[in-house]
Amino acid sequence: MDSEPNATHPTPDPLLAKSAREKAIYHLAEILHAIAPREDGEQDSTMTTVHIVVYVFVIGIIVLVGTVGNILSFCVLSKDKKRNSTTGLLQVLTVVDTLCLAASLFIFTIPTIHKETNWWPSLKNAEPYIELFSWPFASICFTATVWIVLLMTIDRYLVISRPLQSRAKGSARIKVATVFVCVAAVLFNIPRFWDHELVTTSDERIATEHSALRESALYKLIYMVILHSIFRSVGPLIVLSVLNFGLVRHLRKAQRAQGELGRTTIQENNVLLMLVSVVSVFVVCFLPDTLVRVVYVILNLGFGKSKTKAIMYAHFVTNALLVLNSAINCLIYCFTGQKFRKQLREVCSCSSSRCAGQ
């Protein structure tokens, strides 16, 4: 007897839906049909559902809300008349974070819609080309995020420990360092452009697969494990944790002497509080991803392709945290900066007045 395709969740017939109740049931059946595993996949249905919920809905919402927050943050930081190196770097971080959010749609949301659902059939022709370039672009953005946060922390630490020398060099030094960091992030990720290659499948479709370089044990060991750990995960997190501890100690000491400080010093301490909060959240969001990567390397010392279910579920959480880190800074600024909250209200009131005028 011939089996019907996708018999678990059959495609509903809209002609059968007549009453409002039947229409509601019909739409529910459509959703179940859309998120059901495909015929050609053997993936656990629970895993598929979690995949869709996290990468499409959760990350999609984070990207939308975070992009609005980053735009508002950039506008507020641009209004600051007493700009310092930290304020300028926070603006750069806002731009890089927004690029990270955009990249997240292309490496998480769009591939999930293509591979796990039937929501966007025409995507199958474009998705291989999107995947070919989206991962290198995303890797550049996330690398730049790590290094910009590191640059901000080092700069503020030097301002505190060597105030006269740091101020004498001025903002020109920071601008040069920022350009250097962005260029270095691009250069560091050039090999990622050769991670994937286009292939033609047996049914004449274009798809992507790992290249010979990506499958090379030497490439995995040197670039993806050693260099990635030193420059993008373990190394930066250690440096950030040590420097952030020093900044917190200075901030507590300054807060105890708050009554003896001038207005300018108090404003600088408020900026420091904002930076410490940003770095702390950054460490919390990036640390789980680093730990999962270390565990994954230990479990795959033979450079195999196997992944346990626990590791796969952990990746859902850690990837969502990485995206959240690029979306949450506006909220941090609001909680830690009274001046930021005031300027944010001004920006929002000006925007609403313009809309009312039109």
CA atoms within 13 A on the CB side of 207: 10
pLDDT at 266: 60
Query: Could you report the per-residue pLDDT of 30-58, keeping only the tens digit for each?
Result: 544 444 444 444 456 888 899 999 999 99
Query: Could you report the per-residue pLDDT of 132-161, keeping only the tens digit for each?
Result: 899 999 999 999 999 999 999 999 888 888
- DSSP one-letter string for 78-133: HT-SS--HHHHHHHHHHHHHHHHHHHHIIIIIHHHHHHH-SS-TTHHHHHHHHHHH
pLDDT at 98: 97
In a domain, 121, yes or no: yes
- Lowest-pLDDT choice from 20-34, 110-124, 260-274: 20-34
* Domain count for the chain: 1
Query: Could you report the per-residue pLDDT of 190-236, keeping only the tens digit for each?
Result: 999 999 998 888 777 888 888 999 889 899 889 998 999 999 999 99
Q: Pick 303 or 86 by higher pLDDT.
A: 86
Query: Could you report the per-residue pLDDT of 63-90, keeping only the tens digit for each?
Result: 999 999 999 999 999 887 666 788 889 9
In a domain, 3, yes or no: no
In a domain, 348, yes or no: no
In a domain, 174, yes or no: yes
In a domain, 356, yes or no: no
In a domain, 357, yes or no: no
Find out whether 36 and 293 touch, Cβ atoms under 8 Å. no
pLDDT at 41: 44
In a domain, 21, yes or no: yes
- Domain of 262: which CATH number? 1.20.1070.10
pLDDT at 283: 95
Cβ neighbours of 342 (radius 10 Å) = 10
Its domain, for residue 155, covers: 14-343
Q: Rank 96-100, 152-156, 342-346 by mean pLDDT and report only the highest.
A: 96-100
In a domain, 253, yes or no: yes
